[in-house]
């Protein structure tokens, strides 16, 4: 299983907003520049996050994006489901009727268990926790020396 670019960029954008967290909106251009991603692509990701109620947009001069809820109220599962959807890893885990073998299929059970474990792990991580870890990592970076 691979996470889509959409989910990776969306998670990074949410983390950027959580780190910024001073109550002022952050433009898509600033987020894109700080995260070194395409602004155009990021705007479509931010639109999906806005539609899911994870970010809010502010129009006008000085506008941009803010978290729609507190960082400790947004989990990585929220981001994952907003950007990847709520379907299981394979279609039959959510709808046994799609396959005539579902009742006796042991791999279906494996995929369902793996998906549930993934969701449980993502549900246990908040943006606030990620922001704290990111700040700690920034503090422990060795000084840069230029010659």
Helix H or strand E encompassing 6? helix 5-20
Domain boundaries, the chain: 5-86+127-136
Cα 107 to the center of its chain, rounded Å: 28
Q: What is the mean pLDDT of residues 140-146?
A: 60
- This prediction has a pTM of 0.87
pLDDT digits over 45-78, tens only? Answer: 999 999 999 999 999 888 899 999 999 999 999 9
Confidence at residue 138, expressed as pLDDT on a 0 to 100 scale: 81
Task: For the domain covering 5-86+127-136, report its CATH number.
Answer: 1.10.10.10
**Longest CA–CA separation in the chain, Å:** 67
Residues 6+ apart with CB under 8 A from 92: 98, 99, 102, 105, 108, 111
């Amino acid at each position: 299983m691979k996470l889509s670019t959409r989910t990776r960029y969306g998670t990074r954008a949410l983390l950027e907003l959580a780190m910024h967290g001073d109550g002022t909106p952050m433009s898509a251009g600033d987020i894109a520049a700080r995260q070194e991603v395409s602004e155009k692509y990021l705007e479509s990701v931010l639109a999906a996050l806005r539609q899911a109620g994870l970010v809010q947009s502010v129009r006008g001069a000085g506008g941009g994006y803010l978290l729609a809820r507190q960082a400790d109220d947004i989990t990585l599962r929220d981001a994952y489901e907003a950007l990847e959807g709520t379907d299981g890893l394979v279609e039959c885990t959510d709808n046994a009727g799609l396959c005539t073998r579902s009742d006796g299929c042991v791999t279906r059970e494996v995929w369902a268990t793996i998906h549930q474990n993934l969701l449980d792990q993502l549900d246990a991580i908040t943006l606030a926790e990620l922001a704290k870890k990111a700040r700690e990592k920034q503090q422990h970076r060795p000084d840069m020396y230029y010659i």
